Structure 1
């Protein structure tokens, strides 16, 4: 299963340009605002999970953040991001891994995930993900999560996904995290369609 996932995403990032995928945003305003609302220092460790070659890191650098981590399962995605960010390599650590298996000595002030978590459709994987978030976040660290809502798509990039409501997210994270903010939002894709997301900002208890 893992090899199939890797092959799928390597193919996506080998064959499609940044603006040829549904999740493209040249300026991911919601993610930026939620990260800013965490009120962490500009040198705080912030990790973007499953970020691919998205432009979140570029925008955070422009805002003065200097200790950024970009994780993606696709080496092609990471290489594209590295090339684009070649003048800022001192501010970004690039990690080729999935969100379940990577382990680092570093702990983070902010864990950001937009449109990666919903690809986990197995309960065991969801719990493993949560465990990794808990291990990876500092005390009082922030989990910023954007995922498809119950009004959103049932598939993405040809893959099954899990739709979420605030109640479903609370059932997973509520015991260990305090919910600070949650709302739904329509994302306009490059193909003139919309996708309904739910965004939640959690604080680790």
Structure 2
């Protein structure tokens, strides 16, 4: 199994590093929230965070009263950091330990969020499997927020190669079932003070 899809690789990363030590750490996922919150009803909007790991997106959603939040990650060690941080509130989140390229969703979501998973899928088979899960887990009108390294972003992350995207090439990769609504770039500063260029794209399922 390629390391991009290896549970062992990512489990080891989170066993060795605290959430605030990984290069993709954010104190607050502002751009993601800017696109998730408008029009969302905390009582009914179902949100899944793909590769959410130790991200603080779930914290922010719980703070705003969202009642249907799912976080999926291949590494239980990453999810364990989030559960510990959230304490008793962790019971309000559905935690899924799964490889996104082998996941068969049993329900559909109004919002699919992915910050920095898709760009690790450098092989066509991995992208095809991801898109199958995306199709199964969304419905017409669902919003999809995907952040990848921009074309001028890093070529590798966590010791692994990545596929960089522009909004246009990401739209092509997702296919005609998804309409590109808007996009933006972000200069993400890592804990080590390096700058990584991300592009965020918002899609709607047709």
TM-score, normalization: structure 2? 0.94
Aligned equivalents of 1:112 and 1:36: distance in 2?
12
Q: Mean alpha-carbon deviation: is it higher for 80-89 or for 158-167?
A: 80-89
Is residue 2:40 matched to residue 1:52? no
Deviation digits for residues 143-183 of structure 1 (CA, Å, limit 9, x no counterpart):
10000011000000001110001221121224001111111
Structure 1 counterpart of 2:40: 40
Structure 2 counterpart of 1:92: 93
Q: Following TM superposition, by how much is the alpha carbon of 1:185 offset from its aligned partner in structure 2, in angstroms?
A: 1.3
Aligned equivalents of 2:159 and 2:106: distance in 1?
35
Give matches, 1:122-201, under 5 Å. Answer: 122-201=123-202
Structure 1 segments of 4+ aligned residues over 3 angstroms from their partners:
none
SS of the residue corresponding to residue 30 of structure 1 reads helix
Q: Following TM superposition, by how much is the alpha carbon of 1:129 offset from its aligned partner in structure 2, in angstroms?
A: 0.9
Deviation digits for residues 24-75 of structure 1 (CA, Å, limit 9, x no counterpart):
01111111111113x2211311000001111111011112211100000001
Aligned equivalents of 1:80 and 1:190: distance in 2?
17
Contact 2:180 2:203 in 1 (8 A): yes
Deviation digits for residues 164-205 of structure 1 (CA, Å, limit 9, x no counterpart):
012211212240011111111111111111100010000000
Q: Mean alpha-carbon deviation: is it higher for 60-69 or for 99-108?
A: 99-108
Q: What is the root-mean-square deviation of aligned Cα atoms in Å?
A: 1.4
Count of residue correspondences: 204
> Which runs of 5 or more structure 1 residues have no equivalent in the other structure?
none
Structure 2 counterpart of 1:105: 106
Aligned equivalents of 2:98 and 2:2: distance in 1?
11
Contact 2:105 2:136 in 1 (8 A): no
SS of the residue corresponding to residue 105 of structure 1 reads coil
Aligned equivalents of 1:65 and 1:172: distance in 2?
30
